[in-house]
Structure 1
């Protein structure tokens, strides 16, 4: 393999197509003498004369005739493999299934508009949403997941990312909750019981760390797996729920019945922002179809949540 010269394949294709050294030289932009030297190399490499004199012209040998179509196909395949991919993509003709891994919060907020956008632009594309029980880069690395949505971690330094939006937690209570009767201070905030969301069943988080610095501790009486569950409990009780601003704001804008009867408020202690990003493996970075998927997800998030992009 070290001695192979793919330029010889291109030259052989030109010689067998043109049937003359002059014609092949013109096709490849070479001089006739350079083309003659290349023919000599081809004869040595194949062990066959390939083109032989017949009067004033050249005629192919039987082996050359047998190779002509195959050589033409191989030369075309080599050009395809060694030529940069065309970045233009016709989404309307794309036939592919993409797997997006995200938590139920993102799926609940963006699944419907994302599916609608994809269906309109690419009717032959399917989306499969996969659960995200833990942060793990192996599905991306193994090609089992095309795009992951969530908080960027340090578990996969090679992963490509794009910020979708920034989020922050809000407190949520039922309309008429006694907490709303006066300024919400840390002391009044911890005076009521709480419901929190955790896939891992954790009872504490950044809010509790901030409260602890001030000498306060809230009483958590329920841990649920999803934000919709926390919102339902808050609407039917005096428990205080903690949900992302995106979850509440988009539900409010969309008239989601889940939000009806609920009021949000700023937490009385500072908590870090949450950066929600799209993540993908470098192997798909230059793929036109995957780029289209990323751009579609980014556009849907920006349209649905423009104020939280930066």
Structure 2
């Protein structure tokens, strides 16, 4: 085990950026250093910590478990130092050039990023947002490692491990093309079972809320096509006789809903609660708090009021 007296603390900022960027080149650019200097710093860290810390893969520099565990503490410590040095009220959205990284689904990117960018244009013209797409089973690791600032969506797999704020609720609806020869203005369970479907199967091991409901109710549908995201389903339905089940807000994300029939499903589905999630290390960060407020303003429908932040402890 390394002793803090044996570690050059200046190297910890290099560790922080290497975990965040997964690339010596990008870390060097973020730090304002040369690539050889970052490589030399990494070698010194490896010697002082007694661990490889990073291994090269075809996807970039992958941190070892030791690097990830160390990074969580380093990230929190660096944030405390920045807060102490810069002051708790140093973040000014009007002048800040900070980058925030958001985990959003394909639907979330289409639905909410335009409104967010309008808000930033008026209040924080130099702030940058970067939308990140990952399989749902990697969200927890990304938040814990500090690779992203926030995750937004219906994410029950995150449980109570993070601070969270409820933003809105949604529900599944049924879709058919307007001129479907066998589907009228309502959808019966018998017709739902008899027709062929396009199913949305997200990347990752966890089934979505609809699949869980169908299994619980022992309803079997005939799936003729599976796609990895909800935005593709309405376009496919409009040109075929397939049915689809999508969150109602997906329809809002479409440039046009002409040629589609939106129907209530013939069985009850649970509400899809959309939250924003963040790690405790960023809870008191002034810029982070500002961003959470902007997201809540843009995404929460009028009249919902403020929601209580929830922390599992």
Normalising by structure 1, what TM-score?
0.64
Distance 1:308 1:195 in 2: 33
Distance 1:129 1:83 in 2: 27
Q: 1:307 to 1:228 in 2, by over 3 A?
A: farther
DSSP-derived class of the 2:153 partner: strand
Distance 2:84 2:253 in 1: 48
Q: Structure 1: which 5+ residue stretches go unaligned? A: 1-77
Q: 1:161 to 1:190 in 2, by over 3 A?
A: same
2:270 is matched with 272
1:290 is matched with 288
Aligned counterpart in structure 1 of residue 109 of structure 2, from 107, 110, 118: 107
1:27-66 residue CA offsets vs partner (Å, 9 max, x unmatched): xxxxxxxxxxxxxxxxxxxxxxxxxxxxxxxxxxxxxxxx
- 1:172 aligned onto 2:167: no
2:45 is matched with none
Distance 1:234 1:102 in 2: 24
DSSP-derived class of the 1:190 partner: helix
User: Contact conserved, 2:110 with 2:253, CA < 8 A, in 1?
Assistant: no
User: Contact conserved, 2:168 with 2:273, CA < 8 A, in 1?
Assistant: yes
2:143 is matched with 140
Distance 1:90 1:201 in 2: 38
- 1:124 aligned onto 2:126: yes
Q: CA deviation at 1:84?
A: 7.4
Distance 2:95 2:216 in 1: 57
Q: 1:192 to 1:162 in 2, by over 3 A?
A: same
Q: CA deviation at 1:292?
A: 0.8
Q: CA deviation at 1:296?
A: 0.7
1:161 is matched with 164
1:66 is matched with none
1:165-221 residue CA offsets vs partner (Å, 9 max, x unmatched): 111111111112234436421111111110011123889765456556666421010
Task: Report the more deviating stretch, 132-141 or 104-113.
Answer: 132-141
Task: Report the more deviating stretch, 232-241 or 130-139.
Answer: 130-139
1:13 is matched with none
2:244 is matched with 241
What do you get for the CA RMSD once the two structures are aligned? 3.0
Q: CA deviation at 1:120?
A: 1.7
Task: Report the more deviating stretch, 114-123 or 209-218.
Answer: 209-218
Aligned counterpart in structure 1 of residue 231 of structure 2, from 224, 228, 232: 228
Normalising by structure 2, what TM-score?
0.63
1:55-94 alignment runs, 5 A limit: 81=84, 85-86=88-89, 89-94=91-96
Q: 1:308 to 1:237 in 2, by over 3 A?
A: farther
User: Contact conserved, 2:193 with 2:219, CA < 8 A, in 1?
Assistant: yes
2:279 is matched with 281
